[in-house]
Chain A
Amino acid sequence: TQLLEQSPQFLSIQEGENLTVYCNSSSVFSSLQWYRQEPGEGPVLLVTVVTGGEVKKLKRLTFQFGDARKDSSLHITAAQPGDTGLYLCAGAGGTSYGKLTFGQGTILTVHP
């Protein structure tokens, strides 16, 4: 069974601070996706990283896929209250071909 360990589980910061969320596994994934979920809604895809070592930037968000394709990170620069939400990483492929394996999620709260 492939598992994704996401940390931290909770993050409460002030507007303007930087933060990093980690997603780690002992298994190799063919790709890793990051989703953001707001209350009462389903998760929405932010980015997919496919190549080991890949770095993708989405405005103030930077996503990195580990060289061995076992881990990933999400870094947010100068967080805004609008960034508040549940962030989920999900691994695709590997031995769990055909399903997305999700981490436990990180609940981010950005205070004005």
Chain B
Amino acid sequence: GAGVSQSPSNKVTEKGKDVELRCDPISGHTALYWYRQSLGQGLEFLIYFQGNSAPDKSGLPSDRFSAERTGGSVSTLTIQRTQQEDSAVYLCASSLFQTNTEAFFGQGTRLTVV
């Protein structure tokens, strides 16, 4: 696609439910990043992929969070047993290589846990 696509754009879920957030990066981009952003704040790093492997998953807040990437393309971020503090905008970005290159962001998924 022309840009990074994330779905859904909005998700409201009940506390305790599992959610899956999807990211379609720009074709050919080897690096993929997940960040979390609270209202008007900076971006909190969650995990990044180089190809299908995740060299750095240090930002995942707890074992309720997991992510995978298949075929060097689509990535899914899964949050199990959601809590209210998980409410945030989850942003995905991709870049051609790992560093020093522009990261292209999707519009994000706004997750609200009620």
Contacts and interface: CB of A to CB of B under 8 A. Distances in A.
A binds B: yes
Interface of A: 6, 30-31, 33, 40-45, 48, 50, 86, 88, 90, 92-93, 96-105, 107
Given A98-B55, A104-B42, A105-B40, A41 B100 contact: no
Which of B41, B56, B106 has the most chain A CB atoms inside 10 A of its CB? B41
Nearest to B49: A98
Which of B40, B43, B45, B107 has the most chain A CB atoms inside 10 A of its CB? B43
Nearest to B59: A99
Interface of B: 4, 31, 33, 35, 40-45, 48, 50, 55-56, 91, 93, 98-100, 102-108
A97 B105 CA distance: 19
A48 B35 contact: no
A42 B93 contact: yes
Given A6-B42, A40-B107, A99 B91 contact: no
Given A30-B99, A31-B99, A42-B93, A102 B107 contact: no
8 contacts: A6-B42, A31-B99, A31-B100, A40-B107, A42-B91, A45-B104, A98-B99, A100-B93
